[in-house]
Amino acid sequence: MEIMKDNLLLHDQYNIIIVDWSGGNGAPYTQATANSRVVGAEVALFIKKLIRLKNVTPMDCQIIGHSLGAHIAGYAGERLTNLGRITSLDAAQPYFQFMPPSVRVDPTDADFVDAIHTDSASDKFLPLGMSQAVGHIDFYPNNGMSQPGCSYSAIHSIFLDGLIDAVRQFVACNHQRAVDFYLYSINYKKILPVAYQCVSWNAFSNGHCSDCGNDGSRCALLGIQADKYKPYINDSRSVKMYLATSNSPPFWTYSYQIQVKLSKPKTNYEDKAGYLTLKLYGSENTYNLQLSSKTGNLIHGATYTFLVHKTKQLGELQSVIFSWTSSSWNFFKTHTLYLDFVKIVPMNIDNQKQQRLESRKFCYTPGRAIKSKNEIILAECK
Q: Looking at the annotation, which residues are catalytic?
A: 67, 90, 175
First to last CA, the chain: 52
Q: What angle do CA 89, 91, 97 make, to 5 degrees?
A: 155
Burial of 67 (0-12, 13-18, 19+ CB in 10 A): buried
CA distance 218 to 202: 17
Contact 98, 132 (CB under 8 A): yes
Task: Characterize the bridge pairing of strands 286-291 and 272-282.
Answer: antiparallel
Q: In whole angstroms, how far apart are CA 257 and each of 153, 297, 311, 344, 355? A: 29, 20, 15, 6, 11
**Residue 92 pairs with which residues in a beta bridge?**
129
CA distance 94 to 45: 26
Contact 131, 121 (CB under 8 A): yes
Longest dimension (CA), the chain: 87
> On the CB side of 65, how many CA atoms lie within 13 Å of its CA?
33
Helices 68-78 and 29-54: angle between axes, nearest 10 degrees: 40
Whole-number CA gyration radius for the chain: 24
Q: How many CB atoms lie within 10 A of CB 26?
A: 11
Q: Which of 316, 296, 315, 312 is nearest to 304 (CA)?
A: 296
CA distance 12 to 306: 38
Cis peptide before 107 (omega within 30 of 0): no
**Where do the H-state alpha helices sit in the chain?**
2-11, 29-54, 68-78, 150-161, 163-186, 201-205, 352-358
